[in-house]
Amino acid sequence: MGLLGSKKKRLVGLDIGSGAVKVCELRSSGKSGSEHYRLQKVGMALVPHDAIIDGDIMDGNAVSAAIQQVFAEQKIKAKEVAISVSGQQVMVKKVTFPLMSPAELAESVRWEAESFFPAGQGLDSHALDFAVLNERPSEGNMDVVLVACRKDKVEAYMTCVAQAGLKPLVVDVDVFALQNVYEIASQGSRDEVVALVNMGASFTNMTMLVGSKSVFWRDIAWGGHRYTDKLMEDWGVSRDAAELLKQGKMAEGRTPEEIEPSLAAISDSFAEELGRTIDFFRSSFKVDRLDRIFLSGGSAKVGGLTEILSDRLRVSVERLNPFQTLELDERSVDPTAVREIGCSAAIAVGLALRQVGDR
């Protein structure tokens, strides 16, 4: 589902994050519903600190330069891209409506959406989209997911992408792109209750799936920058050194082993935050179990995190591999680079699976 789009077309996935921009280009074969995907290009480029704050672009020139850099490094010639947004300015809500025609639904959605917005803001200041999740004729109703995002945020991202010489044809939402990649990467049972958790630098995107249906979406104001800030405070290292230490590398005379307590303290804090969100989901949706948590995003690679989450939340936790079912075109993709970027590329891969006109 995207906030913008018209006709069917394969696009390059472009994930614009607070810490880095990631790109993914796929080639598909086969019929819809049974398609096979080949990875053509994947890569990332760092974004300067504070160029994006809390999901808002503060330095468009720096972000555009990072986008141009990664497209040039990966020699991607395609210009049409799918991007995504997340954060506090993005609202996702499931609403049940009586069965009605598409025209009636569009009007009803506009009325319902007014309750989304903070005081002093309304529909005129937001981009709005919706999709029917499922219809229940026997009950006379249907479930619809509504998405709203502040227009100036969407426009800022689109302007930044256009400045890099690209054409943003789809604006999606991170949690939907995450679900998209899980659907092709997962080998799990479809009767499971699963939490998909994407840990970015500023925000953590989360969606809960019961069977194959996504029923809960949440962006948590908790990101991997907390690890960075903790290491800088505890060990007196620079930001660049803290980033290296997070990756398990030695920096500025500090070793990964000695800074483990600092990382563990932040992982404990995240486990508490994630646990509260899961408890809210369970009580709100009357779901009494959670079978697995899949982690993605750059911060998911922090050492010891999966073990701490599994221990605190008493559930199986594993990193989501977005490339698990993809064929690699080794003429254009370095398998070592694919392993290194790993779960960091989940949103970019999910976006590359999008086509204009998808619902």
Given a contact cutoff of 8 angstroms between Cβ atoms, the answer to whether 83 and 157 are in contact is yes
Structure tokens at 227: 């690890």
Q: Which domains does the chain have, with CATH numbers?
A: 1-89+152-186+321-359 (3.30.420.40), 189-319 (3.30.420.40)
Burial of 309 (0-12, 13-18, 19+ CB in 10 A): buried
Given a contact cutoff of 8 angstroms between Cβ atoms, the answer to whether 199 and 300 are in contact is yes
Alpha helices in the chain (DSSP H): 60-73, 102-113, 151-163, 174-185, 225-235, 239-246, 260-285, 305-313, 335-341, 346-352
What pLDDT, on a 0 to 100 scale, did the predictor assign at position 359?
56
**Residue 331 gets which letter from DSSP?**
T
pTM as predicted: 0.92
Question: pLDDT for 243-302, tens place per residue?
Answer: 999 999 999 999 999 999 999 999 999 999 999 999 999 999 999 999 999 999 999 999
Cα–Cα distance, 342 to 321 (Å, whole number): 6
What pLDDT, on a 0 to 100 scale, did the predictor assign at position 114?
79
Which among 149, 167, 154, 157 is positioned nearest to 51, based on CA atoms? 157
Going by pLDDT thresholds of 50, 70 and 90, the confidence category of residue 145 is: very high
The yes-or-no verdict on residue 189 having pLDDT over 90 is no
Given a contact cutoff of 8 angstroms between Cβ atoms, the answer to whether 316 and 147 are in contact is no
Given a contact cutoff of 8 angstroms between Cβ atoms, the answer to whether 322 and 185 are in contact is yes
Token pair 């010891």 in the structure block, residue:
304
Backbone torsions φ then ψ of 287, nearest 5 degrees: -105, 125
Question: pLDDT for 75-91, tens place per residue?
Answer: 999 999 999 999 888 88
The yes-or-no verdict on residue 338 having pLDDT over 50 is yes
The yes-or-no verdict on residue 5 having pLDDT over 60 is no
- C-alpha gyration radius of the chain: 20
Cα–Cα distance, 176 to 162 (Å, whole number): 23
> Strands 12-16 and 80-85: what pairing?
parallel
The yes-or-no verdict on residue 31 having pLDDT over 80 is no
DSSP codes, 187-221: -S-TT-EEEEEEE-SS-EEEEEEETTEEEEEEEES
Going by pLDDT thresholds of 50, 70 and 90, the confidence category of residue 112 is: confident
What pLDDT, on a 0 to 100 scale, did the predictor assign at position 105?
94
Q: How far apart are the first and last CA of the chain?
A: 4
Structure tokens at 140: 């006379």
Question: pLDDT for 202-235, tens place per residue?
Answer: 999 999 999 888 889 999 999 999 999 999 999 9
Structure tokens at 259: 């800074």
Least confident of 1-5, 185-189, 268-272, 316-320: 1-5
Structure tokens at 154: 């969407």
Looking at the chain, how many residues does it have? 359
